[in-house]
Amino acid sequence: MSHALSPTADELISLFPPGTRLDGDGSVVVGGCRLEEVAARFGTPVIVVAEHALRQRARDYLNAFRSRWPRADVAFASKSFPCTAVQRVMVQEGLHLDVAGGGEILTALKAGADPARLVLHGNAKTDEEVAMAVDRGVGLVVVDNFDDIDRLEHLVPAGRRQQCLVRVIPGVQAATHASQATGHARSKFGLLPEDARSAITRIERSAKLHMQGVHTHVGSQLLDVDQLAEAVAPIARLGTFETYDLGGGLGVRYTYAENAPTLDDYAEAMVAQARTLLPEGSRLIVEPGRSMVAHNACTVYRVTTIKRGEIVHVAVDGGMGDNLEVSLTGQRFEATLVSRVGGGDTVTVVGRHCESGDELIDGVSLSDPAVGDLLAVPVTGAYCYTMSNQYNGARRVPVVFVADGDARLVVRRDTWDDLVLRDVD
């Protein structure tokens, strides 16, 4: 289904990282760097991250919550952009890190994170991952099931106590894509309240575990803050604890037609519930991912082919290899030519992969696209790098930080040799 609109240049730029502007010749500039020059230097596709905007978002999150609830902490959900350089920014700006699995523990530590400020998630943690968390001194382990308790009691050495949160299913049916809803009764994540009570009792009786608090999460890409706030009451009913982790899930604006809540809207809704339902002086944790990084990056492609038939297909040199969000969740994106912003006729932007589903944008206005043009897609900071892959032998894309007119490579592009690096025969 086509969603094409004819946005103005200002509307187009509003989806790019804060501070983005047009140069004198109309070309897009992010972080003081012309995207044309970034593409010439690092090739395409390339994910471009506005470093100052990323840092400011982290500061804004801390201020939004701590100004309302002094014992609030913000833990960046690493899974949304598990790049060491991104994690390092979050650490430097005073955030904790939410990690899901052994790999994210290792990149977090490489980024300079204090292991005591890590929160480990996972509905199917392995013995190896739990042992890694215990050995490295991960501060909080989120107990998702009774098997987590078994593993922790076996692996935590005598004389130590592991701080734990119990993940609770809040029973909230989120208004989001089915794959992004995590708070409903049939979710694979967490325990229903009655089972959570049993897990809490068991942890409280353990000589090796300490019952620090409870955790909940409704889902991802939620544009209604009241739905997010609904999750507070179910965990409040479970008792008085030192820590209440309210998860993340705040949605962002991907298209011109969407309206997303502000950070202040979100913080006020969550803290208002906390003031009413949770013990004064308790610690709150929120775990933003998408809403921390999505708007602070864009992806630049080069147009490789144009086919004019019943519809105009504009094919680029990336696609499902660097953006699976379209295929997996039906997420709508927008796009513009880097040197000709706004205007034009409706086209469909497709990728290079051998799948009919490799369609980046169905119906978008581009101004006279031609082979060799650069095309920029905004709001690609969340989950695009996370799920990048080597489908059809594609080389995974690089990540470039831009700030004050300087562009620096933080993740290199795969080499051709990388494609066979793990072969043993």
Tell me the HSE value of 235 on the side-chain side, using a 13 A CA sphere: 34
Is 384 designated active site? no
Q: Judge whether 381 and 57 are in contact, CB under 8 Å.
A: no
Q: How far apart are CA 381 and CA 258, in angstroms?
A: 18
DSSP state of 397: P
Query: Alpha-carbon distance 316 to 218, whole Å?
Result: 35
Residue 411 bridge partners (DSSP): 399
Tokens of 181: 């809803």
Q: Where are the alpha helices (DSSP H) in 77-192?
A: 84-92, 102-110, 127-136, 146-155
Instruction: Give dist(CA 364, CA 102) in Å, integer.
Output: 40
Helices (H) and strands (E) in the chain, counts: 13, 20
Q: Taking each helix axis as running N to C, give the angle between helix 127-136 and helix 146-155, from 0 to 180 degrees, rounded to the nearest 10.
A: 50
Instruction: Annotate 324-388 with DSSP letters as a single string.
Output: -HHHHH------EESSS-S--EEEEEE-SSS-TT-EEEEEEEESS--TT-EEEEE---SSTTTT-
For residue 211, which of 225, 224, 200 has the smallest C-alpha distance? 200
Residue 162 to residue 153: CA distance in whole angstroms: 9
Q: Looking at 33, 83, 354, 384, which residue is catalytic?
A: 354
Task: Decide if 170 contacts 189 (C-beta within 8 A).
Answer: no
Whole-angstrom distance, CA of residue 153 vs CA of residue 74: 28
Beta strands in 90-248 (DSSP E): 96-100, 118-121, 140-143, 162-168, 209-216, 243-245
Classify strands 283-286 and 243-245 as parallel, antiparallel or unpaired. Answer: parallel
Residues with catalytic function: 354
